[in-house]
Amino acid sequence: MEVWICRVDWPGAISVFKDVVVAIAAGVTAVVAARGFSRWRAEDQGKADFDLARRALKALFTYKLEFARARSPVLWVAELIVSPGDDDHETKAKALARAYGRRLEPLRAAAVNLETIQTEVEGLWGAEAGKAVQRVLRTYVVLTSSIDAVIANARSGGEDFRADRDFGREMRENVSASGTPEPRNPSSGRHNSSLSQEIEDAVHGCAIVLRSKLPRP
Protein backbone atom coordinates (compact mmCIF):
# COMPACT_ATOMS: atom_id res chain seq x y z
CA MET A 1 0.00 0.00 0.00
CA GLU A 2 1.39 3.36 -1.04
CA VAL A 3 1.19 6.30 1.30
CA TRP A 4 1.11 9.83 -0.21
CA ILE A 5 2.55 12.53 1.93
CA CYS A 6 1.48 16.09 1.13
CA ARG A 7 4.21 18.48 1.87
CA VAL A 8 3.19 22.15 1.84
CA ASP A 9 5.74 24.88 1.39
CA TRP A 10 4.18 27.03 4.04
CA PRO A 11 6.68 29.86 3.83
CA GLY A 12 6.14 30.04 0.06
CA ALA A 13 2.36 29.80 0.42
CA ILE A 14 2.32 32.54 3.01
CA SER A 15 4.47 34.72 0.75
CA VAL A 16 2.07 34.21 -2.16
CA PHE A 17 -0.91 34.95 0.08
CA LYS A 18 0.73 38.14 1.28
CA ASP A 19 1.36 39.20 -2.32
CA VAL A 20 -2.30 38.59 -3.19
CA VAL A 21 -3.47 40.59 -0.17
CA VAL A 22 -1.12 43.43 -0.99
CA ALA A 23 -2.31 43.47 -4.63
CA ILE A 24 -5.97 43.53 -3.58
CA ALA A 25 -5.27 46.31 -1.07
CA ALA A 26 -3.42 48.30 -3.72
CA GLY A 27 -6.33 47.88 -6.13
CA VAL A 28 -8.86 49.00 -3.54
CA THR A 29 -6.67 51.96 -2.63
CA ALA A 30 -6.38 52.95 -6.29
CA VAL A 31 -10.17 52.82 -6.76
CA VAL A 32 -10.80 54.85 -3.61
CA ALA A 33 -8.13 57.35 -4.63
CA ALA A 34 -9.59 57.70 -8.14
CA ARG A 35 -13.07 58.30 -6.75
CA GLY A 36 -11.71 60.78 -4.23
CA PHE A 37 -9.80 62.62 -6.95
CA SER A 38 -12.87 62.77 -9.17
CA ARG A 39 -14.94 64.13 -6.30
CA TRP A 40 -12.24 66.68 -5.45
CA ARG A 41 -11.93 67.73 -9.09
CA ALA A 42 -15.71 68.18 -9.37
CA GLU A 43 -15.77 70.24 -6.17
CA ASP A 44 -12.80 72.31 -7.32
CA GLN A 45 -14.44 72.93 -10.72
CA GLY A 46 -17.66 73.89 -8.98
CA LYS A 47 -15.81 76.40 -6.83
CA ALA A 48 -14.07 77.87 -9.89
CA ASP A 49 -17.40 78.16 -11.75
CA PHE A 50 -19.08 79.78 -8.77
CA ASP A 51 -16.26 82.27 -8.18
CA LEU A 52 -16.07 83.33 -11.83
CA ALA A 53 -19.86 83.54 -12.24
CA ARG A 54 -20.13 85.67 -9.09
CA ARG A 55 -17.37 88.06 -10.21
CA ALA A 56 -18.71 88.24 -13.76
CA LEU A 57 -22.26 89.01 -12.60
CA LYS A 58 -20.98 91.71 -10.27
CA ALA A 59 -18.92 93.26 -13.08
CA LEU A 60 -21.89 93.01 -15.45
CA PHE A 61 -24.32 94.88 -13.24
CA THR A 62 -21.70 97.44 -12.20
CA TYR A 63 -21.23 98.16 -15.90
CA LYS A 64 -24.99 98.48 -16.39
CA LEU A 65 -25.25 100.94 -13.49
CA GLU A 66 -22.39 103.12 -14.72
CA PHE A 67 -23.79 102.99 -18.25
CA ALA A 68 -27.09 104.41 -17.01
CA ARG A 69 -25.30 107.13 -15.03
CA ALA A 70 -23.24 108.16 -18.04
CA ARG A 71 -26.44 108.55 -20.08
CA SER A 72 -28.27 110.75 -17.60
CA PRO A 73 -30.34 113.14 -19.77
CA VAL A 74 -29.47 116.20 -17.68
CA LEU A 75 -26.15 118.01 -18.00
CA TRP A 76 -25.77 120.33 -15.02
CA VAL A 77 -24.15 123.75 -15.36
CA ALA A 78 -21.45 122.66 -12.91
CA GLU A 79 -20.55 119.80 -15.27
CA LEU A 80 -20.11 122.07 -18.27
CA ILE A 81 -17.88 124.67 -16.59
CA VAL A 82 -18.52 127.37 -19.21
CA SER A 83 -17.94 131.02 -18.43
CA PRO A 84 -20.91 133.36 -19.09
CA GLY A 85 -19.19 134.99 -22.06
CA ASP A 86 -18.02 131.77 -23.68
CA ASP A 87 -20.67 131.12 -26.30
CA ASP A 88 -18.62 130.19 -29.35
CA HIS A 89 -19.04 126.71 -30.81
CA GLU A 90 -15.52 125.47 -30.03
CA THR A 91 -15.79 126.43 -26.37
CA LYS A 92 -19.16 124.69 -26.04
CA ALA A 93 -17.76 121.58 -27.72
CA LYS A 94 -14.81 121.49 -25.32
CA ALA A 95 -17.17 121.93 -22.36
CA LEU A 96 -19.26 118.98 -23.56
CA ALA A 97 -16.13 116.90 -24.07
CA ARG A 98 -14.99 117.60 -20.49
CA ALA A 99 -18.43 116.88 -19.05
CA TYR A 100 -18.84 113.57 -20.86
CA GLY A 101 -15.21 112.69 -20.23
CA ARG A 102 -15.82 112.89 -16.48
CA ARG A 103 -19.03 110.90 -16.81
CA LEU A 104 -17.30 108.20 -18.80
CA GLU A 105 -14.46 107.61 -16.35
CA PRO A 106 -16.38 105.22 -14.04
CA LEU A 107 -17.96 103.51 -17.07
CA ARG A 108 -14.55 103.09 -18.71
CA ALA A 109 -13.21 101.43 -15.55
CA ALA A 110 -16.25 99.13 -15.43
CA ALA A 111 -15.79 98.24 -19.11
CA VAL A 112 -12.10 97.39 -18.60
CA ASN A 113 -12.99 95.16 -15.65
CA LEU A 114 -15.72 93.40 -17.62
CA GLU A 115 -13.41 92.94 -20.60
CA THR A 116 -10.78 91.34 -18.34
CA ILE A 117 -13.36 88.93 -16.97
CA GLN A 118 -14.54 88.17 -20.50
CA THR A 119 -11.15 86.55 -21.15
CA GLU A 120 -11.67 84.23 -18.17
CA VAL A 121 -15.26 83.51 -19.17
CA GLU A 122 -14.29 82.53 -22.69
CA GLY A 123 -11.32 80.49 -21.47
CA LEU A 124 -13.38 78.49 -18.96
CA TRP A 125 -16.79 78.27 -20.62
CA GLY A 126 -16.15 78.70 -24.32
CA ALA A 127 -16.70 81.17 -27.14
CA GLU A 128 -20.49 81.47 -26.78
CA ALA A 129 -20.20 82.68 -23.19
CA GLY A 130 -17.50 85.12 -24.27
CA LYS A 131 -19.75 86.46 -27.04
CA ALA A 132 -22.51 87.18 -24.51
CA VAL A 133 -20.11 89.44 -22.59
CA GLN A 134 -18.82 90.99 -25.83
CA ARG A 135 -22.34 91.95 -26.83
CA VAL A 136 -22.61 94.00 -23.63
CA LEU A 137 -19.24 95.66 -24.23
CA ARG A 138 -20.35 96.67 -27.73
CA THR A 139 -22.72 99.19 -26.14
CA TYR A 140 -19.70 101.09 -24.79
CA VAL A 141 -18.40 101.57 -28.32
CA VAL A 142 -21.82 102.74 -29.52
CA LEU A 143 -22.16 105.21 -26.65
CA THR A 144 -18.69 106.73 -26.98
CA SER A 145 -19.09 107.03 -30.75
CA SER A 146 -22.43 108.79 -30.26
CA ILE A 147 -20.91 111.18 -27.72
CA ASP A 148 -18.17 112.02 -30.20
CA ALA A 149 -20.85 112.79 -32.80
CA VAL A 150 -22.75 115.07 -30.38
CA ILE A 151 -19.54 116.95 -29.53
CA ALA A 152 -18.68 117.32 -33.23
CA ASN A 153 -22.18 118.66 -33.87
CA ALA A 154 -21.70 121.27 -31.14
CA ARG A 155 -18.40 122.25 -32.73
CA SER A 156 -20.15 122.73 -36.09
CA GLY A 157 -22.84 124.87 -34.51
CA GLY A 158 -25.46 122.18 -35.16
CA GLU A 159 -24.77 121.89 -38.86
CA ASP A 160 -23.86 118.18 -38.69
CA PHE A 161 -27.26 117.10 -37.38
CA ARG A 162 -29.18 119.58 -39.52
CA ALA A 163 -27.67 117.88 -42.55
CA ASP A 164 -28.98 114.48 -41.36
CA ARG A 165 -31.79 114.88 -38.84
CA ASP A 166 -32.43 111.15 -38.40
CA PHE A 167 -28.76 110.58 -37.61
CA GLY A 168 -28.78 113.48 -35.18
CA ARG A 169 -31.88 112.16 -33.42
CA GLU A 170 -30.31 108.71 -33.12
CA MET A 171 -27.07 110.07 -31.66
CA ARG A 172 -28.92 112.19 -29.10
CA GLU A 173 -31.05 109.20 -28.07
CA ASN A 174 -27.93 107.09 -27.67
CA VAL A 175 -26.23 109.69 -25.51
CA SER A 176 -29.23 110.54 -23.30
CA ALA A 177 -31.54 107.90 -21.87
CA SER A 178 -34.64 110.06 -22.17
CA GLY A 179 -37.31 107.41 -22.60
CA THR A 180 -38.91 105.93 -25.70
CA PRO A 181 -37.09 106.94 -28.89
CA GLU A 182 -38.97 108.80 -31.57
CA PRO A 183 -40.01 106.79 -34.66
CA ARG A 184 -37.48 106.72 -37.46
CA ASN A 185 -38.21 107.92 -40.94
CA PRO A 186 -38.74 104.64 -42.89
CA SER A 187 -37.15 106.18 -45.99
CA SER A 188 -33.87 106.69 -44.11
CA GLY A 189 -33.15 102.97 -44.13
CA ARG A 190 -32.15 102.98 -40.45
CA HIS A 191 -33.57 100.45 -38.01
CA ASN A 192 -35.96 101.63 -35.32
CA SER A 193 -33.91 100.52 -32.33
CA SER A 194 -32.57 102.22 -29.24
CA LEU A 195 -29.38 101.88 -27.24
CA SER A 196 -31.54 101.64 -24.12
CA GLN A 197 -33.16 98.48 -25.47
CA GLU A 198 -29.83 97.14 -26.68
CA ILE A 199 -28.17 97.41 -23.26
CA GLU A 200 -31.18 95.83 -21.56
CA ASP A 201 -31.24 92.90 -23.98
CA ALA A 202 -27.48 92.40 -23.85
CA VAL A 203 -27.29 92.46 -20.05
CA HIS A 204 -30.31 90.18 -19.72
CA GLY A 205 -28.90 87.63 -22.16
CA CYS A 206 -25.46 87.73 -20.57
CA ALA A 207 -26.88 87.29 -17.08
CA ILE A 208 -28.77 84.18 -18.20
CA VAL A 209 -25.55 82.67 -19.57
CA LEU A 210 -23.58 83.49 -16.43
CA ARG A 211 -26.24 82.23 -14.04
CA SER A 212 -26.42 78.96 -15.96
CA LYS A 213 -22.79 78.36 -14.95
CA LEU A 214 -23.53 78.57 -11.25
CA PRO A 215 -23.26 75.10 -9.63
CA ARG A 216 -26.58 73.42 -9.01
CA PRO A 217 -27.37 72.78 -5.31
Q: Which pLDDT does position 192 carry in this prediction? A: 41
9 assigned to some structural domain: no
Q: Would the CA dihedral through 71, 73, 75, 76 be positive or negative?
A: negative
CA distances from 76 to 36, 82, 103, 145 (A): 62, 11, 12, 22
Q: Which pLDDT does position 10 carry in this prediction? A: 55
Which domain covers residue 179, as residue numbers?
Answer: 50-212
Q: Is the pLDDT of residue 82 over 90?
A: no
15 assigned to some structural domain: no
18 assigned to some structural domain: no
Average pLDDT, the chain: 79
122 assigned to some structural domain: yes
131 assigned to some structural domain: yes
Q: Is the pLDDT of residue 23 over 70?
A: no
Q: Is the pLDDT of residue 187 over 50?
A: no
Q: Which pLDDT does position 186 carry in this prediction? A: 45
35 assigned to some structural domain: no
25 assigned to some structural domain: no
What is the percentage of the chain residues whose pLDDT exceeds 70?
A: 65
134 assigned to some structural domain: yes
Q: What angle do CA 14, 20, 26 make, to 5 degrees?
A: 135
In this predicted model, what pLDDT tens digit does every residue of 135-161 receive, in sequence order? Answer: 999 999 999 999 999 999 999 999 999
What is the percentage of the chain residues whose pLDDT exceeds 90?
A: 49
Q: Which pLDDT does position 95 carry in this prediction? A: 86
Which residues lie below 8 Å from residue 49, measured CB to CB, with a gap of 6+? 124, 213, 214, 215
Say which range, 11-20, 85-94, 157-166, has the weakest mean pLDDT: 11-20
Q: In total, how many domains does the chain have? A: 1
